[in-house]
Amino acid sequence: MSDEILFQKIVCNDAQRLDSFLARFLGEVLPGASRSGIATAIKAGLVSVNKKAVLKPAHKLKINDEVLVKKSRIPNENSRISSENSRISNELFEKIKIIYEDDDILVISKPSGLVVHEASSLKGESTLVDFLKQSNRQLATLGGEFRAGIVHRLDRYTSGVMVVAKSDFASAELSSQLQQKTASRIYIALCDLPLKQNCVVERAIGRCENNRLKKAVYPLGKNGAKYAKSAFCNIFLDEVQNSQNSPKKNTPNIIAAKLFTGRTHQIRVHLSSINRHILGDVLYGFKGSCDIIRVFLHGYILELKHPRTGQMMSFCAPLEDDFAALIGVDTRTLNEKLTKNFVLSCFEPFNQWLCLS
């Protein structure tokens, strides 16, 4: 369960651990706030000290340190979903855009902040599955009640295109395409630095030894590491650069990423492994402004075969307003320049790119 934090900044009046300080303070204003939930929030990058993100619950605070808690939800062991959380969920549901629908599949654009399906660490959160059930649509049941219709997922703070299965037949066919890697997914990210050159990253991904919320690059098999492959390219647009190879100073760098496998946090992990970080992704090393409140990663293109007809279909989810605002152009101009065909063409020569393994 969860409650909304209605404050932001706290001044520490005693030297102590960060998680202990927040547990004591939150316990006074949010009865039932759990210690584990506070630790999870810290590791997720929702807490900063003296304007710097801190990811360790055991971080030692000093007197007069300023602790900033981003407006978020801390798991609460005793409370039910508040009316405020319900309002936030309704606002997220209203942002869901329907791109395509027939008797077998539903293609949507998921907003940032919306969880796809229930998980043990997110009990009480409204999810995309809740939205689908409330819409009274027929949904595939192969994934079980909590994952009805879901054949793939996007991270909570990743926006963009997703396909939902409305029948068990469609669910099986789509899952097969994803497993056999015949479905294609391309993402757009805003990063702190441009790529030195377009590249392919083939590095196995497994569980991080030091943070259970993270994944990391390891030799194949270590910590459950599985083969993973991504391609990355710089996207240069006239509106946001001075020249073909020199983006304007302080302008976010637009990078496109193509997945050949589908590991958890794959794009974020692979970019981090080449010292590039998505804006807002403090979990994987972004050290910029604390004012950025989401991970600027967007599922842009999804290509698959229709599960019943076999027809090749291509779907695109236009970038959201916050992407355009951060780049400094209006949303319409950005999406007119960053067309589906343009982005697809960027990956045509990927077999000639540097491969990092």
pLDDT (0 to 100) of residue 118: 75
Strands 297-305 and 184-191 turn out to be antiparallel
Nearest to 187 by CA among 92, 292, 354, 323: 323
Residue 196 pLDDT > 60: yes
Which residues are part of the catalytic machinery?
A: 155
**Contacts with 289 (C-beta within 8 Å, 6 or more apart), sequence order:** none
User: Residue 5 — pLDDT band, cuts 50, 70, 90?
Assistant: very low
Lowest mean pLDDT among 83-87, 142-146, 251-255: 83-87
Indicate the angle between helix axes 35-43 and 18-29, nearest 10 degrees: 120
pLDDT (0 to 100) of residue 131: 87
pLDDT (0 to 100) of residue 33: 56
pLDDT (0 to 100) of residue 35: 67
Measured between alpha carbons, how far is 132 from 243 in angstroms, rounded to an integer? 45
Residue 20 pLDDT > 60: yes
Q: Where are the alpha helices (DSSP H) in 181-320?
A: 266-273
Percentage above 70 pLDDT, the chain: 82
Contact 305, 182 (CB under 8 A): yes
Query: Which of 62-71, 98-107, 125-134 has the highest mean predicted lDDT (pLDDT)?
Result: 98-107
Beta strand extents in the chain (DSSP E only)? 2-4, 9-11, 47-49, 52-53, 66-69, 73-75, 97-101, 105-110, 159-165, 184-191, 199-202, 205-207, 215-217, 229-235, 241-243, 246-247, 253-259, 297-305, 312-316, 354-356
Residue 10 pLDDT > 80: no
- Please report how many Cα atoms fall inside a 13 Å half-sphere around the Cα of residue 312, on the Cβ side: 4
Residue 206 pLDDT > 90: yes
Residue 239 pLDDT > 60: no
Amino acid at 82: S
Predicted confidence (pLDDT) per residue in 64-94, tens digit: 888 888 755 554 444 434 454 565 567 788 8
Averaged pLDDT, 297-306:
96
Query: What mean pLDDT, rounded, does the chain reach?
Result: 83
pLDDT (0 to 100) of residue 31: 44
Residue 279 pLDDT > 90: yes
User: Residue 7 — pLDDT band, cuts 50, 70, 90?
Assistant: very low
User: Residue 181 — pLDDT band, cuts 50, 70, 90?
Assistant: confident
Token pair for residue 47? 């807490």
Predicted TM-score of the model (pTM):
0.74
**CA-to-CA dists, residue 276 to 47, 190, 313, angstroms:** 22, 10, 32
Nearest to 124 by CA among 79, 93, 168, 167: 79
Q: Which residue has the tokens 């409140």?
A: 293
pLDDT (0 to 100) of residue 85: 55
pLDDT (0 to 100) of residue 2: 41
